[in-house]
Each structure stands twice: as structure tokens, then as C-alpha cells.
Copies of this chain bind each other. A is one copy, B any other.
């Protein structure tokens, strides 16, 4: 298992569709001793549309390093003007979790991480409150309490950014963080911030979605995991799911029931991110699930 993971590589590509791309990629991989384990490819339109591909392969040729393989691929990539990245499955991504006071999404991530369902490192958790320190530290993870007040928001964000850089963070998960993120922060970590919104977006954008859902009398409540952009709740959707409710649910009961769909949806989205299954394009996601 260990050895398999060490040599497994994932290649993600997005580019203008042109004839011969798949042949070029697979011939390149074959020449470099790679054995394709799984591949998914999709074109929005074969006549000049957008081409998306995810290839998972085992690099059997020990004579070439991962870095050299990436360098070698640059030529193929240039020819087709690809947006691309190559990732080693064995290199665990470094994930920061932001929380506020609610623990359900945090606990789901920690449990799945602890039981090896989420393959990543979690070097730190950041919160604007101190409530969840014990549970986080209980897992041996540093907990940073950075209070966020209206006046000193920029300062708080600066501290957060420093920590994220210091810990070499790859991805930030807002596990019910409940704070608006500034444009500056979003730009610094473009397509690397995953949020869980407690509604089926675009229904009930903004605050208090469960109160709005109650008011409207919906028969399903939902949750949406999405990348954070400058527009509140408007970023590329990664995953959504719903839960059946009925007239007997009060707002607090909707909130409690909703936790269950929130944590499931967030965990699924995070997992896809960690397994390099998501390509963002044109404010949407292609998910090779």
C-alpha cells in the first residue's frame, strides 16, 4: 500500500479542446514508464470547446524523478496551452481548518482524518473563539485563537495569513467559520478556500438560511460546499445534498437536522479536493468523482 502510494501520480488538465490531446498525453506517459490506473476525460463541446482530463498513473520508472517528470511534461503542456498540475498521491496536502463555535463540521473532518478517510496533514486550526480548543488539542493539533472584531478585522486576517504561510498550507476549510473573508484573503488563496454553506445554494444566500427555509416552508433542506470567491455564497459549487424535513420542524430542529447534511457534504468536497478530483473553470467545478 505504502509503496503504491509513493509512486502514484495524478495529472489534472484543462485546455482548449484540440485533436490529439489524449494521444499526446498517454504517449508521453507511456514513454516515461507510467501505467495509467484510471482516467476520466470530458469535453464541453468537441468542436472547439473546453477539454478537461484527470489521469491517475503509477510511475514505474525509477530512473526519472517526479520533478524531472513534471519538467518533461512542460513541452506537451505548452504545445496545447494547458492549465495543468501534477500531484504525488503520497504527498499529503496541508489543510488548515477555520472554525467558530459549532463543532459538527470540525469533528467530522477530524474523525475522518484520524481514521484515514481524509488523507492529509492538519497542521493547525484557527478560530475566532476559544471554545473548541480542547477537542482540537486532544488530537495533537495546534489551536490558534484569533479574535475577529469589526475594527481589527484586517489585523486578524494578517495574523491568519502569516500562520497559513508559516505552516505551508495548501487548502483552507471554513468548517462553519461564520465570518466574511476579505478580498485580499480570498485573492491570496485563490481556489484554495472551501466553505460549507448551510443551504441548498442559490436558495437562501446569506445569513440565517434555516430561518428562511422555515419561513418559506420548504420540504427539503440542504447544504453546499463551494470555493470562496469575492461574491458571498457565489463561488464555484463543489457538492450539494439535501435532507427531507416537514412541517413539524421548528427553526432549531432544522438547524440540528441540517448539521448532518452539512458535515457530510463538506467532508465529501474536502475529500475530492485532497484526491485532486476537482478542476475549477468559469465559476463552476468539474468533479471527477
Contacts and interface: CB of A to CB of B under 8 A. Distances in A.
A38 B43 contact: yes
Nearest to A237: B217
Copies per assembly: 4
Contacts of A240: 218-220
Given A46-B58, A284-B247, A286-B247, A107 B117 contact: no
Interface string A10-41: 00000001011111011101100111111111
Nearest to A265: B219
Contact of A202 (B103, B203, B247, B285): B203
B219 A237 contact: yes
Interface residues of A, number: 64
Summarize A's interface: helix, strand, loop or mixed. Answer: mixed
Contact of A242 (B23, B201, B220, B285): B220
Nearest to A242: B242
A4 B20 CA distance: 19
Interface of A: 4, 17, 19-23, 25-27, 29-30, 33-43, 46, 52, 58, 60, 103-104, 107, 111, 115, 117, 138, 200-204, 216-220, 222, 236-242, 246-248, 256, 260, 264, 283-287, 289
27 contacts: A19-B34, A19-B35, A22-B22, A22-B26, A22-B30, A22-B36, A23-B27, A23-B30, A37-B46, A38-B43, A40-B40, A40-B41, A46-B58, A107-B111, A200-B203, A200-B220, A200-B242, A202-B204, A203-B203, A216-B237, A217-B283, A217-B284, A219-B287, A220-B241, A242-B242, A246-B289, A247-B286
